[in-house]
């Protein structure tokens, strides 16, 4: 979680991902609700650099922390949230990346845009992240039926 306060572009509603997966920089959309949640979170710790500062020394002193939260802390928090949510499926923080891609595809976002958001060089890599869901199967079936509806009469 190496996100810095300066990575939030609230004017454009974009989040700058610096040196993300694959060492690539990119911008991704920042929904208004996410921006508000990040602002509320920041008000708790008020660290001038990090959105998720390291509590290594003390939770009481994260305002002055000079490093980001450790990856293992993020994983522990995710597992705790998973337990609290009642979800019993196996999942990791990385699962969220797959889910994001799948939901974008289901919402009709083009594979090329998803590829840009995930920072992939190849569309084939992005396709791995986009799992076929029952909603997509129904939607595809409906489209095929629409296309062929006028052929039989």
153/15 Cα distance (integer angstroms): 52
**Span 10-51, pLDDT tens digits:** 999 999 999 887 788 999 999 999 999 999 999 999 999 999
Q: Which of 55, 11, 60 is nearest to 32 (CA)?
A: 11
**Span 103-150, pLDDT tens digits:** 898 888 999 999 999 988 888 888 887 766 666 777 778 888 888 887
In what helix (H) or strand (E) does residue 90 lie, and over which residues does it extend? none
Tell me, what's the pLDDT at 146?
Answer: 86
Burial 53-92 (b: 16+ CB within 10 A, else e): bbeeeeeeebeebeebbeeeeeeeebeeebeeeeeeeebe
pLDDT at 79 over 90: yes
Token pair 């990040």 in the structure block, residue: 38
pTM across the whole model: 0.74
Domain segments of the chain: what residues? Answer: 1-90, 92-153
Tell me, what's the pLDDT at 22?
Answer: 74
Q: Which of 106, 105, 74, 104 is nearest to 92 (CA)?
A: 74
The model's confidence at residue 151, banded by pLDDT at 50, 70 and 90, is confident
Tell me, what's the pLDDT at 132?
Answer: 65
Contacts of 54 (CB under 8 A, 6+ apart): 62, 65, 67, 68, 69, 70, 73
């Amino acid at each position: 979680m190496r996100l810095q306060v300066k990575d939030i572009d609230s004017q454009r509603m974009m989040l700058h991902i610096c040196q993300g997966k694959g060492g690539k920089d990119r911008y991704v959309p920042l929904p208004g609700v996410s921006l508000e949640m990040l602002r509320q979170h920041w008000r708790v710790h008020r660290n001038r650099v990090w959105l998720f500062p390291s509590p290594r020394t003390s939770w009481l002193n994260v305002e002055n922390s000079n490093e980001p939260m450790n990856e293992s802390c993020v994983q522990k928090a995710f597992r705790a949230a998973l337990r609290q949510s009642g979800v019993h499926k196996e999942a990791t923080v990385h699962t969220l990346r797959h889910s994001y891609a799948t939901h974008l595809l289901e919402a009709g976002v083009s594979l090329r845009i998803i590829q840009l958001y995930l920072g992939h060089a190849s569309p084939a890599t992005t396709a791995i992240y986009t799992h076929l869901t029952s909603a997509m199967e129904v939607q595809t079936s409906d489209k095929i039926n629409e296309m062929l509806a006028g052929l039989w009469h």
